[in-house]
Copies of this chain bind each other. A is one copy, B any other.
Amino acid sequence: MSDLTQRQTEILDFIRSQLRDTGFPPTREDIARQFGFSSKTGAQDHLMAIARKGFIELVPGNARGIRLLKEDELLLSHQFELPLIGSIAAGTPITAETNVDTWLRIDPELFHPRADFLHRVAGHSMKEANILDGDIVGIHAQDDADNGQIVAAVMPHPKTGEDEITLKRYFRRGKKITLKPENSAPAYKPLEIDLAPLEGDSQEQTPFRIAGVYAGLIRPRG
């Protein structure tokens, strides 16, 4: 299924907003007026292109005969849902389909900052930050962080070598990064990373990156 062009997306959005505001779809003339076309044929052409790409259905001979398709997914699934990310397949972006375990119906805007994905915490390394084993944390995607923030770090598992997400408190001083667990038990040791040896080395993959910052959590059991 091909994608919509910029203009076609604008027009589809206008149809959506008209449906929301007025309760019925716009006419060709409504669309032409909205976008400053002097002829309704312009609108018609766009509608036929959008229909051909499968985003709407045009009902011939019916005034305002525009039916939105694939809106169930948009309205029910993705607008108010967040992907739960488990393990991360090599070379894929975090939120790639393959990494999504499931979608949970939670409004992303509930978190501050807004959550872009979720991750289920395993283990007790952040216990003293009140993040417990089994909690589902909301992560706001960004590739940098301030000192002292809790970040979702992506790095290979020491044994399996597979990329995984871990939560740690982030500190940076010059080229030295410290990822600190929030558990004072001796088993939990801060991780020190020196960026210096990696500089200019385009072959070697940086073994660590920030996927985002901690934005809150859900604890699904009483």
Instruction: List A residues at the B interface (Cβ < 8 Å).
Output: 19, 22-25, 27, 59, 62-68, 80, 104-107, 110-113, 130, 132, 138, 140, 149-150, 213-222
Docked CA distance A104–B105 (Å): 11
Minimum C-beta distance from A23 to chain B (A): 4
A88 CB to nearest B CB, Å: 21
Report which of B110, B113, B216, B221 forms a contact with A104, defined as CB distance below 8 A.
B110
Contact B218 A217 (CB under 8 A): yes
- Contact B218–A218 (Cβ < 8 Å): yes
In-complex Cβ contact of A63 among B59, B63, B113 (8 A): B63
CB pairs A–B below 8 angstroms (11 shown): A23-B68, A24-B25, A24-B62, A63-B64, A104-B110, A105-B106, A110-B218, A130-B130, A130-B132, A218-B218, A218-B219
Question: Does A112 contact B220, Cβ atoms closer than 8 Å?
Answer: yes
Q: In the complex, what residues of B have CB within 8 A of residue A24's CB?
A: 24-25, 62, 64-67
Name which residue of chain B comes closest to A67, CB basis.
B23
User: In the complex, which residue of chain B has the Cβ closest to the Cβ of A214?
Assistant: B222
Return the contact of A222 from the options B27, B104, B113 (Cβ within 8 A).
Answer: B113
Please give the distance in Å from A220's CB to the nearest CB on chain B: 5
Least CB distance from A112 to B in Å reads 5
Docked Cα-Cα span, A217 to B132, in Å, equals 12
**Distance between Cα atoms of A218 and B104 in the complex (Å):** 13
Chain B residue nearest in CB terms to A27: B63
Q: Which B residues lie within 8 Å of A140 (CB)?
A: 222
- Pick the residue among B64, B67, B112, B216 that contacts A64 (CB under 8 A): B64
Residue in B closest to A217 when the chains form the complex, CB atoms:
B219
Q: How far is the CA of A216 from the CA of B132 in the complex (A)?
A: 12
| Residues of chain B within 8 A of A67, CB atoms compared | 22-24
Q: A107-B104, A107-B106, A130-B132 are in contact. Are A22 and B221 (CB under 8 A)?
A: no
Contact with A23, one of B25, B104, B130 (Cβ below 8 angstroms): B25
Which residues of B have CB within 8 Å of A107? 104-106
The chain B residue sitting closest to A112, CB to CB, is: B221
CA distance A183 to B161 in the complex (A): 42
